Amino acid sequence: MTNALKPGATIGILGGGQLGRMLSMAAARLGLKTHIFEPAANPPAGDVAHRVTTAGYDDIEALKTFANSVDVITYEFENIPTEALDIIESLRPIRPTRDALAVSQDRITEKAFLTNLGITVAPYAQIDSLPDLTAALKTIGTPAILKTRRFGYDGKGQARITDISQAEDALKALKGAPAVLEGFVNFTREVSVIAARGIDGAVVCYDPGENVHKDGILDTTTIPATLAAGQHMDAILLAGKILNALDYIGVMGVELFVTDSGLIVNEIAPRVHNSGHWTQNACVVDQFEQHIRAIAGWKLGDGQRHANAVMTNLIGDDVLDHANLEGALHLYGKAEVKPGRKMGHVNQISPKA
């Protein structure tokens, strides 16, 4: 392919967490280097990357030096300040593009984008005040979930409302941040599709995984998900539709609710995704290599799985038992164990069913 990166080239990654670490390891296997840009000291990705810049997203000089030192820029989280992107964008290509980031950074923009594509989302309303919220609760009904429009992750920035009398407290819990009210979806299960799109427009989707959350954080992903054949195909088709609409380059995670009346998209993440970690041990080409291949302008790899898999996250103290765990162990090298902190994961695989 034209303009494809050659081995020895450098990929810039915004963010130095575990996703940046596993992207760096995949890049190294392909003969590519990574340069991590991360405000916090000693990031997990720093142990395995070629180079690390420790600087804030408001450090214009550091951003310029970073961008000038790499061939292409990608990111491992979506909440990168717009001003930082403005600076680096003129220097190097950003993949996936800023459109994908803009859509996924704001829950209202995301839902409007998906609705326009004919994809179903939970009933929702924009909330900027208490009158907005009481009016929306009357039309959407309870139970409902109030979420911040931006910067939410792992169930943070959310308040469940079971009765209209809780409206004021729910708004206070979100500290006045712009919000969205979502109707509560009575889902039978949660699944996600990890999908990739190459520079040539080719799309490769991994089989959907079934996700179970604990305290708002992903606990396990099981493959295959329990899905009727029609739902399996619907999940893959709608992921492909989203990628094409964004002219996307890279890997995306699409989180779905399965209901009796069809699939509902919860959210999209324009990056490699925790619910795709199972691909490391059950596929020839995992989500990390696939993302690197896509942003390097290489042909996508084979996303077929050769095994069934269960991925279990190691959250907080779970990691203390690491030496005794069965399965393929992936630790993130984080020095400090904290409650709710993702410390690693284990992939258990079994013959493909």
Q: Residue numbers of the site for ligand AMP (CB under 6 A)?
A: 122, 145, 152, 155, 182, 184-185, 190, 213, 216, 255, 266-267
Would you say 24 or 211 has its CB closer to ligand AMP?
A: 211
Would you say 172 or 213 has its CB closer to ligand AMP?
A: 213
Would you say 158 or 308 has its CB closer to ligand AMP?
A: 158
DSSP letters spanning 129-193: SHHHHHHHHHHH-SSEEEEESSS--TT-SEEEESSGGGHHHHHHHTTT--EEEEEPP--SEEEEE
Would you say 121 or 199 has its CB closer to ligand AMP?
A: 121
CB of 184 to ligand AMP, least distance (A): 4
Give the separation between CA 110 and CA 102, rounded to whole angstroms: 8
Range 77-80 contact pairs with CB under 8 angstroms and sequence separation of 24 or more: 77/14, 77/15, 77/17, 77/19, 77/271, 78/104, 78/105, 78/269, 78/270, 78/271, 79/105, 79/150, 79/151, 80/14, 80/15
Q: Residue 195: which H helix or E strand, with range? A: strand 189-197
CB of 190 to ligand AMP, least distance (A): 6
Would you say 210 or 267 has its CB closer to ligand AMP?
A: 267
CB of 25 to ligand AMP, least distance (A): 26
Would you say 18 or 275 has its CB closer to ligand AMP?
A: 275
- Report the DSSP beta bridge partners of residue 190: 211, 257
Would you say 19 or 49 has its CB closer to ligand AMP?
A: 19
CB of 189 to ligand AMP, least distance (A): 10
- Report the DSSP beta bridge partners of residue 317: none
ω before 339 within 30° of 0 (cis)?
no
Give the separation between CA 321 and CA 63, rounded to whole angstroms: 39
Give the separation between CA 198 and CA 299, rounded to whole angstroms: 7
CB of 191 to ligand AMP, least distance (A): 11
CB of 124 to ligand AMP, least distance (A): 8
* Closest residue to bound ligand AMP by CB: 185
Give the separation between CA 137 and CA 170, rounded to whole angstroms: 12
CB of 229 to ligand AMP, least distance (A): 24
CB of 145 to ligand AMP, least distance (A): 5
Give the separation between CA 312 and CA 150, rounded to whole angstroms: 27
Would you say 78 or 289 has its CB closer to ligand AMP?
A: 78
Give the separation between CA 72 and CA 342, rounded to whole angstroms: 28
